[in-house]
């Protein structure tokens, strides 16, 4: 064993300066790396030894290898040309908070194992509710991802149904009807995963048709609920979405909320992406109706410049959420009479995630956050206009937020299979540039490209570059198509 049990302070300080220098240069110029690395599966592993080290190595050598190997085989989510999926940001304040979180290594499972972490979570989430216009008094907890938040919300909905699932489970019971959760056909797959995990099976989800703007049809929802009740199926929850993954459509939450109220069904709102837009005062309406929801998920790690992971679950019914999850063995009993974060989900251990949210909210302030999101909204509108002006492209969906869904649609080409292969080639060509990264989706069967703006370092110049690249690739594709004829 080496003389010191852990790194000596001076060794740490020197390595720490090197790490900070690297991070500073990286964040100052993430474009020094292509947004997508040129690697194929297995390339990276082939560079590493198969056996673990037996003798410790100097930190300098480990950092050398980090610099030499990791960035080259990484997809750069910090690259301002990252427009795939939903882009995210490691903002400076968030990165510094993450370093401090790691250093303190607090596990806030109980109030007494993290008093500041527990209480900062409560304070920052009340600030976030205020900034997004959500009603005061909502109970909030931070989870890793929206998938976990939605799972917990639907577990609370199942608990709320009064079927004593906590006591007796579901399997082998003749006294429990089939249970159902409703969401639109555009809802995220995390709803299905939650329902699967909760033991309701794939049959436990009923997807409701959407209108021509991809919003859940509230009348069709009412019909589905009535049909299910008539068939002896018990509706337990509806998941409405504010900002669906494919097209960022916004379900009519207010109408859905009033139906849920009449029917006594839990309403969960997935605002993982779209909820952040409500920090812009003139966008507050996107959360209209959410004041009636039983639970809402909003991900500051998506579009609020907080490094992954930070997903907020708000609920008006914390008692039910606790009833679904609280379980206190003797060794965790405390006399503090305080809120313990372990009672709100599956994990016992809780990272100190509120610290990065606190840093980011304070560093930008409500006005700074609103300015940045407003700019992303403007850039998306601009890109949508450019795409339409080009004449060869078409928008495939409205643009309520910062995501543009579009495709190449040469005049006269109507066959969907031909359009899919053309647009898939377009996407491949665009992403091969190394300067931008877009992803795709299918919208009512139509293959389309998505340009999602959300990185704090993205400017008009990056969006213009995406357009230029798309045009060049389209020219090339048209040329090769005409050369083939």
**Residues of span 159-198 touching ligand PLP by CB under 6 A:** 188, 190
Residue with Cβ nearer ligand PLP (251 or 435): 251
Q: Is 273 in the site for ligand PLP (CB under 6 A)?
A: yes
Residue 114 or 243: the one with the smaller Cβ distance to ligand PLP is 243
Least distance to ligand PLP from the beta carbon of 272, Å? 4
The answer to the question of residue 272 lying near ligand PLP (CB under 6 A) is: yes
Q: Which stretch, 66-74, 143-151, 159-167, 254-262, contacts ligand PLP (CB under 6 A)?
A: 143-151
Which range of residues in 195-203, 238-246, 344-352, 379-387 is near ligand PLP by CB under 6 A?
Answer: 238-246
241 binds ligand PLP (CB under 6 A): yes
3-class SS at 157?
Answer: helix
Which pairs count as long-range contacts for 172-177, CB under 8 Å and 24+ apart, including other chains? 177/232, 177/233, 177/234
Question: With respect to ligand PLP, which residue has the nearer C-beta, 101 or 311?
Answer: 311
Pick 306 or 355: Cβ nearer ligand PLP: 306
Does residue 406 sit in helix, strand or coil?
A: strand
Binding mask 307-326 for ligand PLP (x = CB under 6 A): ----x---------------
Residues in the chain: 485
SS (HEC) of 415-458? CHHHHHHHHHHHHHHHHHCCCCECEEEEECCEEEEEEECCCCCC
Q: Choose between 315 and 340: whose C-beta lies nearer to ligand PLP.
A: 315
Least separation in angstroms between CB 277 and ligand PLP: 13
Asked whether the beta carbons of 357 and 306 are under 8 A apart, the reply is: yes
Q: Which two tokens stand for residue 429?
A: 């060509």
- Alpha-carbon distance 1 to 22, whole Å? 30
Q: How far is the CB of 92 from ligand PLP (least distance, A)?
A: 22
Q: Which of 141, 160, 245, 455 binds ligand PLP (CB under 6 A)?
A: 245
CB of 273 to ligand PLP, least distance (A): 5
* C-beta of 188 vs 353, nearer to ligand PLP: 188
Output the CA angle 243-272-207, nearest 5 degrees. Answer: 60
Q: Does 86 bind ligand PLP (CB under 6 A)?
A: yes
Burial class (CB in 10 A: 0-12, 13-18, 19+), 39: middle
Cβ-proximal residues to 207 (8 Å cutoff; 6+ apart), any chain: 182, 183, 184, 185, 187
Contact predicate 274/242, CB 8 Å: yes
Q: If binding is defined by CB under 6 A, does position 141 make contact with ligand PLP?
A: no
Q: State which of residues 141, 299, 431, 455 lies at the interface with ligand PLP (CB under 6 A).
A: 299
Closer CB to ligand PLP, residue 309 or residue 390?
309
Least separation, in Å, of the C-beta of 66 and ligand PLP?
Answer: 25
Per-residue b or e along 292-309, where b marks 16 or more CB atoms closer than 10 Å to that residue's CB: bbbbbbbbbbbbbbbbbb
Asked if 146 touches ligand PLP (CB under 6 A), the answer is yes
Would you say 214 and 448 are in contact if contact means Cβ atoms under 8 Å apart?
Answer: no
Interface with ligand PLP includes 147 (CB under 6 A)?
A: yes
- Report which secondary-structure segment, H or E, holds 182: strand 179-184
Q: Site residues for ligand PLP, window 333-392 (CB under 6 A)?
A: none
Instruction: Between 356 and 409, name the residue whose CB sits nearer to ligand PLP.
Output: 356
The angle formed by the CA atoms of residues 366, 371 and 372, to the nearest 5 degrees, is 105
Site of tokens 């509230």:
218
> Residues 405, 407, 412, 418: is their CA dihedral positive or negative?
negative
* Bridge partners, 181 (sequence order): 205, 237
89: contact with ligand PLP by CB under 6 A: no
Between 124 and 145, name the residue whose CB sits nearer to ligand PLP. 145
User: What Rg do the C-alpha atoms of the chain give, in angstroms?
Assistant: 24
In terms of CB distance, is 298 or 384 closer to ligand PLP? Answer: 298
Q: Which residues pair with 395 in a beta bridge?
A: 406
Q: Which is nearer to ligand PLP, 86 or 214 (CB)?
A: 86
The distance of closest approach from Cβ of residue 474 to ligand PLP in the complex, given in angstroms and rounded to an integer, is 27
CB of 454 to ligand PLP, least distance (A): 11
Using CB under 6 A, list all residues that contact ligand PLP. 86, 145-147, 188, 190, 241, 243-245, 270, 272-273, 299, 311
């Amino acid at each position: 064993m080496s003389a010191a049990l852990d790194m000596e302070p001076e060794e740490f300080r020197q390595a720490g300066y090197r790490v900070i220098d690297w991070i500073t240069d990286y964040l100052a110029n993430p474009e020094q790396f292509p947004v997508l690395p040129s690697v194929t599966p297995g390339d990276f592993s082939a560079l590493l030894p198969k056996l673990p080290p037996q003798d410790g190595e100097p930190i300098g050598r480990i950092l050398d290898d980090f610099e030499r190997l990791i960035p080259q085989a990484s997809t750069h989510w910090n690259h301002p040309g990252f427009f795939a999926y939903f882009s995210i940001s490691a903002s400076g304040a968030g990165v510094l908070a993450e370093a401090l979180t790691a250093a303190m290594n607090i596990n806030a499972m109980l109030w007494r194992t993290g008093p500041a972490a527990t209480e900062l979570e409560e304070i920052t989430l009340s600030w976030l509710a205020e900034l997004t216009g959500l009603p005061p008094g909502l109970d909030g907890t931070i989870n890793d991802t929206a998938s976990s938040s939605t799972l917990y919300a639907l577990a609370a909905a199942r608990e709320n149904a009064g079927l004593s699932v906590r006591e007796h489970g579901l399997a082998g019971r003749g006294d429990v009807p089939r249970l159902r959760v409703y969401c639109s056909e555009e809802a995220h797959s995390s709803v299905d995963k939650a329902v699967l995990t909760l033991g309701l099976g794939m049959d436990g989800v009923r997807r409701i048709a959407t209108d021509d703007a991809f919003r859940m049809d509230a009348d069709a929802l009412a019909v589905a609920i009535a049909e299910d009740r008539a068939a002896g199926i018990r509706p337990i929850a509806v998941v409405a979405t504010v900002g669906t993954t494919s097209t960022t459509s916004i379900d009519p939450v207010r109408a859905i909320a009033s139906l849920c109220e009449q029917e006594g069904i839990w309403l969960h709102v997935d605002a993982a992406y779209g909820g952040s837009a409500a920090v812009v005062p003139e966008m507050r309406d996107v959360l209209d109706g959410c004041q009636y929801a039983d639970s809402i998920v909003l991900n500051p790690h998506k579009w609020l410049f907080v490094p992954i992971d930070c997903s907020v679950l708000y609920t008006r019914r914390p008692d039910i959420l606790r009833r679904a999850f609280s379980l206190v063995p003797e060794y965790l009993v405390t006399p503090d009479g305080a809120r313990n974060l372990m009672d709100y989900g599956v994990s016992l251990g809780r990272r100190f995630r509120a610290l990065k949210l606190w840093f980011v909210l304070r560093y930008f302030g409500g006005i700074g956050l609103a300015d940045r999101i407003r700019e992303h909204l403007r850039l998306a509108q601009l890109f949508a206009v450019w795409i339409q002006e080009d004449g060869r492209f078409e928008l495939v969906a409205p643009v309520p937020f910062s995501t543009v869904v579009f495709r190449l649609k040469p005049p006269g080409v109507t066959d969907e299979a031909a359009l899919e292969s053309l647009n898939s080639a377009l996407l491949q060509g665009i992403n091969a540039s190394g300067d931008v990264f877009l992803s795709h989706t299918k919208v009512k069967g139509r293959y389309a490209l998505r340009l999602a703006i959300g990185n704090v370092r993205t400017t008009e110049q990056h969006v213009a570059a995406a357009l230029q690249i798309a045009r060049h690739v389209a020219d090339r594709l048209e040329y090769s198509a005409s050369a083939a004829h």
